[in-house]
Amino acid sequence: MKNKKGAEEVNIRTILKRIPHDDLLELIMRLIQSNKKAQEKALNFLENKGYLNDEELAQKHYNEYREKFAEAIDIISEFNMYGGGPEDDEDRAYENMEQVLSLLEEGKLPDECREEMIHELMEQYLEGNSGFDDAIWDWIERIACEEAHWRLVLSYLKQSNSKYDQSLMLDIYRHKLGDEETYEQMRIQQLTYGSDYLDYAQFLEQKGEKKKALEIAEKGLREGEGFLGALYEYVFEQYEQMGEKEKRCNY
């Protein structure tokens, strides 16, 4: 076979067929040790061919997790430090996290990895200067699957004074933990925007407290800030169900 310049290429495949096993093994090991990507490809090849036993497979996946996740955290940390960074680094962080999350969701990592990931990611989230905040929260949603995980997330969010983070806490108490009492105590103290009043009204309606729900929604129309469109729709729908459409004229 000739290359683009017309010169004959060495047929490596033919040569490999005639060298002794030990020399072939030495060649492979040298190639693997000289290049991290080569090692990764070799292990993936062995996994796909079914040559790894359960212990070797578990160790391979765990090592992948340690390497990929550590690199992603390093990138996010650096972005936090400088308020951003190179697009290539950003892409690599996303790719690494997707690989790690796939391993996690496929049950290829020990459960304790979840808490470790939550710790590391929430520390970066609270820094709030990386541009990864929304992505981090999406990752947390995929990682946390038990009450203890969400309690851990809450322990970090409690350190924040952000109203947005407070809304995340409310969502966790209501939808992740089913702690309606704590949710309601916090919700009453945090009624600012139309969406806050709507959230509370819908909560009360689900509890069967329709009258109170409507009162809260009406109060939101009077005192709520920001966009009120969804709240108006909710109130008007309640009036219609009650057969009191004429009340819409009050707004």
The angle subtended at Cα 131 by Cα 126 and Cα 134, nearest 5°, is: 70
Q: Is 230 within 8 Å of 198 (Cβ atoms)? A: yes
Q: How far apart are CA 223 and CA 249, in angstroms?
A: 18
How high does pLDDT run on average in the chain? 91
For the whole prediction, is pTM greater than 0.85? no
pLDDT band at 47 (very low <50, low <70, confident <90, very high): confident
Q: How confident is the model at residue 1 (pLDDT cuts 50, 70, 90)?
A: very low
Mean pLDDT across 98-123: 97
Residue that the structure tokens 């929260």 belong to: 137
- C-alpha distances in Å from residue 65, one per residue of 22, 101, 141, 190: 32, 9, 18, 39
